[in-house]
Structure 1
Amino acid sequence: MKYHGIRGLLGAAAVATALVTAPPALADYPVQTVRLITHSSPGGGMDVFLRKIGQHLGPIMGVNFVVESVTGSGGAAAMAAVVNGPKDGSVFYGSTPTHIITSLLSNPSVTYEEMAPVVNLFNDPQTVYVLADSPYQTLGDIVADAQENPSSVVVSVSTPGSLDRQVMEEFQALTETSMIVLTHDGGGDAILSVLNGTAQVGVSEIAELRGQMEAGKVRIIATYTDERVPGIGDVPTAREQGYDLVVSKFRGIAGAKDLPPDVIAAWEEGVATLMKDPEFRDWYEAEGLQNAYQTQAEALAARDEFVVSLQAFFDEFGIN
């Protein structure tokens, strides 16, 4: 996976749900049940992502996967649950840029530096969406309204430390506009704010929007990608609409630092096999996800590069 800085990369109740009843754990994996923790609220993009992983990866690794939603503090509560948990391969974190952003912009009890990537799987395109009957047809319509009526346009994003919130900071600077950015505990909650009319615009991933798109409730008007994304209609990119902003959100699995090497090796082998599974591939391609599998060593190097780019972005826009 290639990173291009922030422009190119671009929640504490727990809800646990068993994903599949897999065969007994294989002899080379130390535990039978693995918890996958997310900062996203149920129905959010990472919640959907982890459930699908558990469904397909469980039989491959011989493990029962359980998803837990630990919301609050921009991902800090979920990070603490992972780092303070057992170091035996039984608890992991669904990672996105959020936990890095939260670490850099606040003072959480646990930061990304006490964690380590295990594997990365995808780049997840960011999209801009509105209600199906919204008068906004293009990004230009939103910009024009925001320029004519400053602070009148409300944009719904997920957590305060999410990449979609950072995308909005950059978009406002790029367009010299002032909008209200409404944050939530996760992507599922953010979509509700658009559906109930609290916000006129939302920024999200395709997986979070798929159900509402198919129900005819929302439509995507732009993607922050280099090229148009198949499977969502003929939606022009932000660049095609005159706004030079390309963002892709990495999705992967992270854990506490210094997990046993055999645990890391089992994940690397299991996920490498998963990415070749035809049914799983059909799912992620339909969701607009881009295969960006990385081993731990590769993901660690990419993370460190991202941190440098992210800090430069914060400095450029005076975000602290």
Structure 2
Amino acid sequence: MISKIKTALLVGLATAGILAQPVLAADYPHKTVKLVTHSSPGGGTDVFLRELIKYLTPITGVTYVVENVRGGAGAKAMAYLAGSPADGSVFYGTTPSYVNTSLLSKPDKTYEDLDPVVNLFQDPQIVFVRADSPYKSLKEVVEDAKKRPNQVRVGVSTPGSLDRQVMEQLKAETGTEMTIITHDGGGDVMLSVLNGTSTVGIGEIGELRGQLDAKKIRLITTYTDERLPQFADVPTAKEQGINLVVRKFRGLAGPKGLPRDIVAAWEDAAQKVLQDPKFKAVYEKDALIPSYLNQEQYGKFLAGFAEEQKAFFTKYGITAD
């Protein structure tokens, strides 16, 4: 078994006399590691993992491959991980969806059949529309929904996703009825809004960046306590009289029984990659908020989150689609 990988090893000089980043995993047992997501290509976790590995590889000395295991709102991905060897060769990109799907759908394998590893970020949720949409704010969406019940079509990702859950809360808080359209991931939600299937979409900045920069879509609300510095002209839901604040986490889990030295390597690498100035420039642009939790902290967080979700589902009468 590998030793604890806490010693940074310098790997020589790069061109122009610049030191390369230290390799943290020189004796890691795998040269290639698979990162699984239930998200469709272009979805939030897919984009997140593919961006992360650009900066993780130089730090760890490991090659990463992202694999999309779609179906069952994360149920297939969780089953895939639960049946994989607990040797550090495969991990899962975690979001609230994998807890919610476990609680709502009761699949054969749930989040409890996986080992939490680390949490990396909180990812603010935003509400967006096509650039030519008449909606300028979430308040206008709500007002229209009151006038035309079930005519406003809102695109969300999987049935177990946080954005799907929040829509039920929004409807209950505002006394409205809207048609909710679920998808395989955030990339599909964006396409749904662009082609007019959905009139409003819920997502994250990372998965929308290309269309935002191309001015094909427009942000109308953030579900945050305060306005995002990167989008200071976009009002929060709270500013519009709608008391909704959403905190979506992004982390990693692995098969049950991961050796402690494997986990320690990832805890070390996660802290290092969050400190990387180049990665920091990228994740700050996408409004990701660093929220590192080690394995013990993340496990406690997930247990608390699951209890909160159970109470939430009961309060709002939420069941799986």
TM-score in terms of structure 2 length: 0.91
- 1:270 alignment partner in structure 2: 269
Task: Report the alpha carbon displacement of residue 116 of structure 1 after superposing the two structures with TM.
Answer: 2.0
Aligned CA RMSD, in angstroms, stands at 1.5
Query: What pairs with 1:91-170 in structure 2 (closer than 5 Å)?
Result: 91-170=90-169
Amino acid corresponding to residue 206 of structure 2 in structure 1: A
Query: What pairs with 1:212-223 in structure 2 (closer than 5 Å)?
Result: 212-223=211-222
- Render the CA deviation track for 1:90-118: whole Å, top value 9, x for unaligned: 00000000010000001212101101210
- 1:61 alignment partner in structure 2: 60
Q: Percent identity?
A: 56
Is the counterpart of residue 187 in structure 1 residue 182 in structure 2? no
Counterpart CA distance in 2 for 1:116 and 1:245 is 30
**Secondary structure in 1 matching 2:193:** helix
Amino acid corresponding to residue 314 of structure 2 in structure 1: D
**Secondary structure in 2 matching 1:203:** strand
Task: Report the alpha carbon displacement of residue 233 of structure 1 after superposing the two structures with TM.
Answer: 4.5
Counterpart CA distance in 2 for 1:45 and 1:176 is 29
Task: Report the alpha carbon displacement of residue 24 of structure 1 after superposing the two structures with TM.
Answer: 9.8
Q: Which stretches in structure 2 are left out of the alignment for 5+ residues?
A: 1-20
Task: Report the alpha carbon displacement of residue 52 of structure 1 after superposing the two structures with TM.
Answer: 1.3
Amino acid corresponding to residue 179 of structure 1 in structure 2: M
**Secondary structure in 2 matching 1:227:** coil
- Render the CA deviation track for 1:235-255: whole Å, top value 9, x for unaligned: 110001110110010000111
- 2:282 alignment partner in structure 1: 283
CA contact (8 A) 1:25 1:63 kept: no
- 2:16 alignment partner in structure 1: none
- 1:294 alignment partner in structure 2: 293
- 1:3 alignment partner in structure 2: none
Amino acid corresponding to residue 49 of structure 1 in structure 2: F
CA contact (8 A) 1:24 1:63 kept: no
Counterpart CA distance in 1 for 2:49 and 2:225 is 26
Amino acid corresponding to residue 165 of structure 1 in structure 2: R
- 2:12 alignment partner in structure 1: none
Counterpart CA distance in 2 for 1:130 and 1:68 is 29
Counterpart CA distance in 1 for 2:43 and 2:22 is 28
Counterpart CA distance in 2 for 1:256 and 1:232 is 38
- 2:11 alignment partner in structure 1: none
**Larger-Rg structure:** 2
Task: Report the alpha carbon displacement of residue 291 of structure 1 after superposing the two structures with TM.
Answer: 0.7
- Render the CA deviation track for 1:101-144: whole Å, top value 9, x for unaligned: 00000121210110121000000000000011111111111111
Q: Which stretches in structure 1 are left out of the alignment for 5+ residues?
A: 1-21
Amino acid corresponding to residue 102 of structure 1 in structure 2: T
Counterpart CA distance in 1 for 2:56 and 2:318 is 39
